[in-house]
């Protein structure tokens, strides 16, 4: 995982902000971070707090849609993202 750099120009979100934006519970976000390593890789602050960029938030929304709305398994969702060429 990359470390947080305060000079990073893109917007970064805490896990609470990502939960508010996506509706995905924080424990699920932590779990998905391990399951979808190549699609969700938050930066870390010096205090080891997660910071998600815009791409990670979009990928979380995609994963949530695939799993909760379309009924994909986690493995199926991962394969679908790979087939779509989604980047992390």
The pLDDT value given to residue 53: 96
**Domains in the chain, CATH or no CATH each:** 15-84 (1.10.1660.10)
Per-residue confidence at 43, pLDDT binned at 50, 70, 90? Answer: very high
The pLDDT value given to residue 87: 81
CA distance 39 to 16: 19
Instruction: Spell out the SS3 assignment of the chain.
Output: CCECCCCCCCCCECHHHHHHHHCCCHHHHHHHHHHCCCCCCCEECCCCCEEECHHHHHHHHHHHHHHHHCCCCHHHHHHHHHHHCCCC
Per-chain mean pLDDT for the chain = 91
Residues 45-83 have pLDDT tens digits of: 999 999 999 999 999 999 999 999 999 999 999 999 999
Tokens of residue 16, six digits: 């609470």
């Amino acid at each position: 995982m990359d470390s947080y750099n305060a000079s990073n120009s893109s917007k970064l979100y805490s896990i609470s902000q990502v939960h508010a934006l996506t509706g995905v519970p924080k424990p699920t976000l932590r779990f998905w971070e391990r399951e979808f390593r190549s699609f969700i890789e938050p930066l870390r602050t010096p205090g080891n707090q997660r910071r998600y960029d815009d791409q990670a938030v979009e990928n979380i929304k995609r994963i949530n849609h695939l799993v909760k709305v379309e009924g994909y398994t986690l493995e199926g969702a991962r394969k679908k993202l790979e087939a779509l060429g989604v980047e992390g």
